[in-house]
Amino acid sequence: MPKVEINNEKCKGCSLCINACPKQCLAFSKEFNKAGYHWATFEKQDACIGCGFCYLVCPDVCIEVYK
């Protein structure tokens, strides 16, 4: 089963990964990180297909996808 790890302190909440996910597995957190942004969170683990689109579009390189 694929696994997505997001570095919440590096994430600026741009939503590119959320929009790129074909299975809508990512969402914004309700909390803020130290920089004051809502970061992306991996919500639907069972739906993830490990495509890596979230990793590819992240401008801050804060997402890792493991298969």
pLDDT in tens, 29-56: 999 999 999 999 999 999 999 999 999 9
pLDDT category at 67 given cuts 50, 70, 90 is confident
| Whole-number CA gyration radius for the chain | 11
Tell me the pLDDT of the chain averaged across its residues: 96
* pLDDT number for residue 54: 98
The answer to whether domain 3-66 has CATH 3.40.190.10 is: no
How large is the average pLDDT for residues 51-66?
Answer: 97
Distance CA 67, CA 35 (A): 30
